[in-house]
Amino acid sequence: MTPDRHGAAARGAAWHSAAAASPKRYGAGARSRVLVAMSGGVDSSVAAALCLREGHDVVGVTLKLWGGPQDQGCCAVSDVDDARRVCQQLGIDHFVFNYAAEFERDVVEPYVDAHRHGLTPNPCIACNRHVKFDMLLDRARRLGFDRLVTGHHVRISTQGGGRRLQRGADSAKDQSYVLYMLSEADLADLWFPVGDYRKDELRMLAAELGLRTAHKPESQDVCFITEAAGRERFLAERIGLHPAELVDAAGQRVGTAPAVELVTVGQRKGLDLGGAPQRRYAVDVDIAARRVTVGGASELAAPGVRLVDHRWAGEPVEGDVLAQTSAHGPAMPAHLDAEGQLRWVEPQRRVAAGQAVVFYTGDEVLGGATAAGHLT
């Protein structure tokens, strides 16, 4: 691969002039070689610029992950081009690493298989775990870089002598939920320069430098699901989709759903309940029987969550925590028992099996696990 080389000295000087007014500094110690994961968005663009401002040797890399049709999400052809041109503006080298085969194996195939078994997967967490902070981080180490840098809205806390993942300063953009799997060893080789900035500050800094991504809209969609075809067609091409009957708590048939594999616990839309006036939700999904049990909001509540595949920031935690069950949902008080199972202080909406549950103390991540059902 041949990097882009475009006047590093001139553009590096331009960044120092444009960003010098900001009082925030996030150096990774002495002058370092850093590899910046460039998604083509404003966050990673400014992350690279902040590394330059700190005087580090910076190289940008964009990941080629999905080889199929794509019209939304990250890592599209236009995103690769945006990342390349931002690197040109900053005067740093830019590479593209092809992890398409690994992405198919570790993200897409598990996503499809999860739906086959009635689970609700989070492909972005799988991508972070297996690709960005496993393969890419390992490659950065092997290539001799001191840090892998990303544009995630998180921080690293070093209070108490260890390293822990901490929420980003912009609570509306915090991404700690999708990075809960990062270990202390991982955090030693990572740097998140944008974590102490609000989104509007990042756009302002990008605009001052004239970066092409300064006003680029965000995309939070699954990159391998096209808007035109949607999730249903994507899965229908890979697994059989089967209609489901909807039943109430007494087992009485009350309606139908077009595909049991597409129903998730907590879902309300897309369920044909024959015009029932009251709101009803999917409270249980039985793939084998092709049956979905529906009920009201009170029937959707559960006292706790059964958990598997725990990942801890340090030693396993037992006791009172705050638990978050979606990327931007609230963290609610709960208790972890000695087996790592979670009970809410007050009953909460059921968590779909396959989703992540992340544990916090204040803004610090203690760890997380995968929901496998609800406790009674």
- Please confirm, yes or no, whether 124 is among the known catalytic residues: no
3-state secondary structure of 101: helix
Q: How far apart are CA 178 and CA 311, in angstroms?
A: 12
**Can you spell out the DSSP letters for 164-215?**
EEEE-S-TTT--GGGGTT--HHHHTTEE-GGGGS-HHHHHHHHHHHT-TTTT
Domain boundaries, position 263: 243-295
Helix %, strand %, coil % of the chain (to 5): 30, 25, 40
Q: Active site residue: 74, 75, 87, 127, which one? A: 127
Q: What is the CATH number of the domain that holds 251?
A: 2.30.30
Instruction: Indicate whether 308 and 288 sit together in one domain.
Output: no
Q: What is the CATH number of the domain that holds 55?
A: 3.40.50.620
Q: Active site residue: 75, 87, 124, 223, which one? A: 223
User: CA nearest 220: which of 13, 43, 34?
Assistant: 43
- Please confirm, yes or no, whether 223 is among the known catalytic residues: yes
60 to 24, 39, 89, 154, 199: CA distances (angstroms): 22, 10, 12, 20, 21
Instruction: Indicate whether 46 and 110 sit together in one domain.
Output: yes
Instruction: Indicate whether 75 and 180 sit together in one domain.
Output: yes
Domain membership of residue 273 (yes or no) is yes
The single residue listed with the structure tokens 């990342």 is 83
Instruction: Indicate whether 253 and 140 sit together in one domain.
Output: no
Residue by residue, pLDDT tens for the chain (376 residues) are 434 433 444 444 444 444 444 445 445 457 899 999 999 999 999 999 999 999 999 999 999 998 765 555 566 778 899 999 999 999 999 999 999 999 999 999 999 999 999 999 999 999 999 999 999 999 999 999 999 999 999 999 998 778 999 999 999 999 999 999 999 999 999 999 999 999 999 999 999 999 999 999 887 678 888 887 789 999 999 999 999 999 999 999 999 999 999 999 999 888 878 666 688 999 999 999 999 999 999 999 999 999 999 999 999 999 999 999 999 999 999 999 999 999 999 999 999 999 999 999 999 999 999 999 999 9
Instruction: Indicate whether 368 and 251 sit together in one domain.
Output: no
Instruction: Indicate whether 283 and 307 sit together in one domain.
Output: no
Instruction: Indicate whether 50 and 96 sit together in one domain.
Output: yes
Instruction: Indicate whether 189 and 307 sit together in one domain.
Output: no
Domain membership of residue 226 (yes or no) is no
Q: What is the CATH number of the domain that holds 350?
A: 2.40.30.10
Strands (E), the chain: 33-37, 57-64, 93-98, 147-149, 154-157, 164-167, 190-191, 244-247, 253-257, 281-286, 291-295, 301-312, 319-324, 331-336, 342-349, 356-361, 364-375
